[in-house]
């Protein structure tokens, strides 16, 4: 006689996280007229995409938006295009061609890393927002990933310039979210806000979610966080499987984005980026 698998405390916690995220996604879809989901192709936004497929019974009822800086690691683009085909996703690729064509971006041009992020990611997103007219944008940020993100809400208003007023965050009591916005502005929705990096990988392991192979060690190095080629560096690691990564995360204390150079240009570099509308 076959016995059902034993549910562990990790499974119960993942079930709770999943249910909360699915609730946020459904609330967002029901409240906004036109909504898109940002897909960086990294582990977090791909888990978010997986949750969206669960929330809407295998169908993703809104487009996926990828802001391509032209400096993406080639394996990331290959993975993006393959998954978009296999999962029948509506994919919108935003790219700030004007700034890219000037040659003024980091590292060849005069821009700092943070300035380059503003031009290629923030302004690239603004171009898509202006063209598509989204009043809701789903983003895969987590509070534990970076101190500025710990100040976020599940539903976070942005003004017409995409600015974020970190000092004026709406209360979220009893599941009541801020879903109204002025014409031309929008609300960012964060279904993964309550997850941790370890939760993400435990869920990837349980659900068998495909991720970019760059997360797994090659010759003693792997990427813990994915970004542009000039500003993202691998960490020392021998973790070659998802289970290896989970074990590694339980043993180390280094910051998740320690390999993202733009975060370290100044003490408040990342907060400035996010106040200006960066993801």
The CATH number linked to 113 is: 3.40.50.620
pLDDT of residue 178: 73
Residue 99 lies in a domain: yes
Residue 160 lies in a domain: yes
Residue 158 lies in a domain: yes
Residue 242 lies in a domain: no
Range of the domain at 58: 10-197
Residue 254 lies in a domain: no
Domain count, the chain: 1
pLDDT of residue 131: 95
Residue 147 lies in a domain: yes
Residue 215 lies in a domain: no
Per-residue pLDDT of the chain (279 residues; tens, 9 = 90+): 555 566 789 999 999 999 999 999 999 999 999 999 999 999 999 999 999 999 999 999 999 999 999 999 999 999 999 999 999 999 999 999 998 888 888 777 778 888 888 888 989 999 999 999 999 999 999 988 877 777 788 998 888 888 887 777 777 766 778 777 778 889 999 999 999 999 999 999 999 999 999 999 999 999 999 989 988 999 999 999 999 999 999 998 887 866 555 555 555 555 665 566 566
- Give the burial class of 191: count Cβ atoms within 10 A of its Cβ; 0-12 exposed, 13-18 middle, 19 or more buried: buried
Residue 263 lies in a domain: no
pLDDT of residue 272: 62
Is 0.85 topped by the overall pTM? yes
């Amino acid at each position: 006689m076959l016995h059902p698998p034993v549910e562990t405390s990790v499974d119960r916690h993942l079930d709770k996280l999943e249910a909360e995220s699915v609730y946020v996604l459904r609330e967002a879809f029901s409240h906004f007229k036109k909504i898109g989901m940002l897909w960086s192709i990294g582990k977090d936004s791909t888990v978010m995409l997986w949750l969206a497929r669960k929330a809407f019974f295998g169908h993703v009822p809104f487009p996926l938006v990828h802001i391509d800086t032209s400096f993406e690691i080639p394996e990331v683009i290959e993975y993006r295009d393959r998954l978009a085909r296999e999962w029948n996703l509506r994919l919108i690729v935003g790219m700030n061609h004007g700034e890219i064509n000037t040659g003024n971006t980091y590292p060849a041009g005069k821009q700092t890393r943070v300035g380059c992020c503003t031009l290629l990611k923030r302004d690239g997103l603004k171009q898509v927002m202006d063209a598509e007219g989204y009043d809701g944008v789903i983003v895969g940020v987590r509070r534990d990933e970076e101190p500025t993100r710990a100040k976020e809400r599940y539903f976070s208003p942005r003004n017409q310039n995409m600015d974020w007023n970190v000092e004026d965050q709406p209360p979220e009591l009893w599941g009541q979210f801020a879903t109204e916005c002025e014409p031309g502005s929008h609300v960012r929705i964060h279904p993964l806000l309550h997850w941790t990096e370890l939760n993400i990988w435990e869920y990837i392991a349980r659900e068998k979610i495909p991720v970019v192979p760059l997360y797994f060690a090659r010759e003693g190095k792997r990427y813990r966080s994915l970004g542009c080629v000039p500003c993202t560096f691998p960490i020392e690691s021998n973790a070659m499987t998802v289970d290896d990564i989970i074990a590694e995360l339980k043993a180390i204390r280094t910051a998740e984005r320690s390999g993202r150079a733009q975060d370290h240009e100044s003490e408040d570099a990342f907060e400035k980026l996010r106040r200006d509308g960066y993801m």
